[in-house]
Structure 1
Amino acid sequence: MVLSCEGHCEPALGVVRALGERGVPVIVLSETAQAAAALSRHCVEHVVAPQLGGHPPALRSALEALAERHGGPLPVFPTVDPDLDTLVRLAPSLDARLAPVVGEPALMLQLMDKAAFQALAEQHGLPVPRTWAPADQAALRQAAQEAHFPVIAKPAFPYHWHSALAQAFSGKKAQLLDDPSALLAFGATLGERDLGVLVQEYVPGADDQHIDVHAYVDRQGRAQATFAGCKRRIYPAHAGSGCYVEALDLPELERSTVDMLQRIGFTGLANVNYKRHAVTGRYTLLEINPRVSQWGFFTTRAGVNLPWLAYCDQVGLEAGPLPARRVGLRFVDSTRDLKAFRQYHAAGELTAAAYLRSLFRWGLVHQSLDWRDPVPGLSLLWRHARAVLGRAR
């Protein structure tokens, strides 16, 4: 079963396709009837549960009704932070026929709360930047005195945004602040207490120094597979998530990632974000997301089907050998990547010719459009076209 929150169709669609291509019939549980994942040819049932993310009673009721109808074990895949948070909190008390693909709840909550993650990282000696979690303006002023600038400010809990926080970040994942006065001016927009931000020393390097390692660690703590990808472009530029990604072979980083996950007792699906320091060349850990990423289906196309491994682990099947990894394969989220190009081009960082060359490559994997499963991508393309025409009118 795949959970699909409104406005976050890509991860859910990727999991549906990853499972469906291995012959697994998939149930999609979504907030609206328009879920793109439910249009996949691999979806055999679509259940609409309004307020799926952030509303435990609604999710519990929908899940337990499905368990009653289908029996178990019934693996449940959260795909974005809101449904992950709700599922983790419900997991210990759910019907035994349900098998949430999440790890130990206390650890999952630590990883989702960026301030708690910082404490966990310091406890286990993980290679993170110096970070502050100021609770009020006085603590923010203290951070401004201690930090080496520039710094990055980012939400402490990515989807628990109050209105001032949402306005301050303007849709970006983070804000780059060059000096103490910029940090204090930014903080002044957040109120006096419960600022909801982390302040982190900036890791120097271009956007293409952002590397993700994806992994699945089974319930016995054994790493079943890993995958590494480099974010060649991100959106919003310099403060967003990957929209043009290349598959890499980084065995040392992948081994150290597995060691780190095992050290903290992690099990489940992990999306581990690093940035390579432009001066030292070392990989700095930015965060560990205990779920699939927005471009998670790319790992399947590159030969590492992590949802399939998770499914087999939950139901007691032998997954069998994975195909050879396709190093050098590239992925694009066309809509967001076009917006990213405009920003890079305006800053003089990417020419139109280089951008077009990157798109005309053999085997480029697209976020939604897929000839094996065309309806979801065509539906999203039609919705986008209608939105553009509506704005034009």
Structure 2
Amino acid sequence: MASRRPACVIGDLNLVRCLARVGVPVTLASWRAEHTNGLSRHCAARLRLPDPTHDPEGAVATLLAHALGCASRPVLFYTGDPDLLLVSRARHRLARAYDFVIAEGALVEALVDKVRFHALAERLGLPTPPTLPLPPGSDRAAAIAAWAHYPCVLKPACRRIGWEGSPLLRAYGRPAKVIGIADPAEWRPLLPHVAAHREPLLLQAAIPGDETRIVSYHAYFTVAGEAVAEFTGRKVRTFPREWGHSTCVEITDHRDLRALGRAIATRLGLRGVVKLDFKEHPLTGQRFLLEVNPRFNLWHWPAAVAGVNLPALVYRDLTGAAMPAPRPLRRGVRWLSFLDDLNAFRDYRRSGDLTLPAWLASLARCRAWEGFAWDDPLPAAVAFGRFVLRTGRRLLQRKAPPLPIRDAMATPR
């Protein structure tokens, strides 16, 4: 690559390694204190950010100060929702020092907030499941009593605020992105906590089928609205098994899904990288749109291994380098987060759907790993050592809880 301008990545090793494949010098910026990602040999430097949710001004000031110290103008990348919102809301100030591509500000806000997204989807006629917003202060009990779509899920409008560790999620009894409700009787122990929850909630009809029926469309749209590159994917395993975080995913190449995703992204007017999640109905095959994420994510690493490196294409576009000829996509490349997938395996084995030999065989198929690479083992080795120490302490205390959902190298899903 002719241009060697530096990149600043607010995120994780999945994105760093995409850029390292094409020789881009990367500074890894993180606000997570325990991350071992900065130990990667692919990180030219590390930058500690204030938490963008609680101190956005401090995070912006730190990023601007970093850019001033760079020999040439850096390119900015972002991963999780807090990072996306930070860059979007400070886009004009950050654009004085960085090059980056991002969706329009009002659209970003609407996509991150599920209540706003529901209103946008209804206005545009997007194929979303039946949905009911439950704003704070409303009579949620009455709204739930009138709800007729079962099974269903209860979601936070914004996952980053007031969800993890909330009394409502504790009453549900297990960590999850959403709360699953099979029938009206299951509301009984939850209703007081639903009524007391201070943040907006969303009730949505659950599409039948397990999480392997969740498929996704990924693309990079230039500022002119051109889809430079695309790929599709599917979930293989999640933890928890129902409505959990991805622990193993697979790159696919479905033409009809690409066409559907491209049409919806164009209707939304998206620019930059996009990810659209759908769930396929097992009987009708209809695809329902679940969410839209206009940010970089874990899928870009296995896709880069498969031959479609979206972050590298963004970098080329923003630095004025010529775009390479399209490469054929290798279908079937898998990404896996080992500790998370170990939890998933235990879950699937209890239900009789996965044996130890089958799980070990699936590990052998993976070509991209969360945090680990054979040519860059130190971050994973240190994270695993920390995990062993934490687990040992808990066993000594006779608590022995389940393995954590996220280790020190957590990645936005």
TM-score (norm 1): 0.91
The reply to whether residue 62 of structure 1 matches residue 62 of structure 2 is yes
CA distance in 2, matches of 1:297, 1:324: 16
Q: CA deviation at 1:392?
A: 2.4
Deviations 1:67-99 (A, max 9, x none): 222265422111111222222111133351222
Amino acid of the structure 2 residue aligned with 1:364: R
- The Cα of 1:29 is off from its aligned counterpart by 1.4
The more displaced of 243-252 and 368-377 is 368-377
Residue of structure 2 equivalent to 1:369: 372
Comparing 157-166 with 80-89, which one deviates more in the overlay?
Answer: 157-166
Corresponding residue number in structure 2 for 1:332: 336
Aligned positions of 1:52-201 closer than 5 A: 52-70=52-70, 73-135=73-135, 136=137, 138-161=139-162, 163-168=166-171, 170-183=174-187, 185-192=189-196, 194-201=198-205
Q: C-alpha separation between the residues in 2 aligned to 1:301 and 1:130?
A: 37
2:401 aligns to what? none
Cα drift, residue 188 of structure 1: 2.1
User: Are the equivalent residues in 2 in contact too, given 1:134–1:195 (CA < 8 A)?
Assistant: no
Give the direction of change, closer, same or farther, for the CA distance of 1:333–1:295 in structure 2 (3 Å limit). Answer: farther
State the match for 1:44 in structure 2.
44
* 1:253 aligns with one of 254, 257, 261: 257
| Mean CA deviation greater in 248-257 or 144-153 | 144-153
Q: Displacement, 1:193?
A: 6.6
CA distance 1:290–1:168, shift in 2 (3 Å): farther
TM-superposed deviation, 1:206: 1.8
Question: Structure 1 counterpart of 2:387, which letter?
Answer: H
Q: Distance in 1 between matches of 2:159 and 2:9?
A: 18
Q: Are 1:270 and 2:271 an aligned pair?
A: no
Partner of residue 302, structure 2? 298
Distance 1:165 1:75 in 2: 40
Residue identity matched to 1:348: G
2:44 and 2:12 mapped to 1: Cα distance?
A: 14
Distance of 1:326 and 1:234 partners within structure 2: 23
Partners of 1:108 and 1:341 lie apart in 2 by 35
Paired residue secondary structure (1:271): strand
Q: Distance in 1 between matches of 2:242 and 2:132?
A: 21
Match for 1:108: what amino acid? V
Q: Who is 2:345 aligned against?
A: 341
Worse-matched range after superposition: 116-125 or 161-170? 161-170
* Partner secondary structure for residue 383 of structure 2: helix
> What is the aligned length?
386
Instruction: Judge which range, 283-292 or 100-109, deviates more.
Output: 100-109
What is the alpha-carbon distance in structure 2 between the residues aligned to residue 121 and residue 71 of structure 1?
44
The answer (yes or no) to whether the contact 2:152–2:204 under 8 Å persists in 1 is: yes
CA deviation string 1:343-389 (max 9, x = no partner): 1111233233322222233x532222211322222222222222222
The CA deviation at 1:128 is 0.5
SS in 2 for 1:62: helix
Separation (CA, whole Å) in 2 of partners of 1:175 and 1:2: 36
Query: For residue 352 of structure 1, what is the aligned residue in structure 2?
Result: 356
AA paired with 1:116?
A: R
Which 10-residue stretch deviates more, 289-298 or 106-115? 289-298
Unpaired segments of 5 or more residues in structure 2?
1-6, 397-413
* 3-state SS in 1 of match to 2:78: coil
Letter in 2 for 1:81: D
The change in CA–CA distance for 1:257 and 1:336 in structure 2 (over 3 A counts) is: same
Q: Which residue of 2 aligns with 1:227?
A: 231
From the superposition, tell whether residues 240 and 32 of structure 1 become closer, same or farther in structure 2 (CA, over 3 Å). Answer: closer
Other structure's SS at 1:287 match: strand
- The answer to whether residue 385 in structure 2 is matched with residue 382 in structure 1 is yes
Aligned-pair distance for 1:275? 0.8
CA offsets 1:103-152 (integer angstroms, 9 cap, x no match)? 11110111000111111111111110010111245245224423321111
**Any idea what the Cα deviations from partners look like across 1:160-185, whole Å, max 9, x if unmatched?**
11633453564201111012232464
Give yes or no for contact 1:112–1:157 (8 Å, CA) kept in 2.
yes
| 1:30 aligned residue | 30
1:7 corresponds in structure 2 to none
Q: Deviations over 1:189-232 (max 9, x none)?
A: 13347452111001001221111222111111111111211111
CA contact 2:176–2:243 (8 Å) conserved in 1: yes
- In 2, Cα distance between the equivalents of 1:155 and 1:298? 29
* Alpha-carbon distance between aligned partners in 1 of 2:32 and 2:144, rounded to the nearest angstrom: 43
Question: How big is the alpha-carbon RMSD for the aligned residues of Structure 1 and Structure 2?
Answer: 2.1
1:193–1:381 Cα change, 3 Å? closer
Inter-partner Cα distance in structure 2 for 1:257 and 1:277: 17
- Check 1:287–1:258 CA distance in 2 against 1; reply closer, same or farther (3 A cut): same
Q: Percent identity?
A: 32
Match of 2:269, SS state, is coil
Deviates more, 1:158-167 or 1:370-379: 158-167
Displacement after TM superposition at 1:38 (Å): 1.7
Measure the CA separation in 2 of the matches of 1:2 and 1:240: 30
2:245 to 215, 219, 241: 241
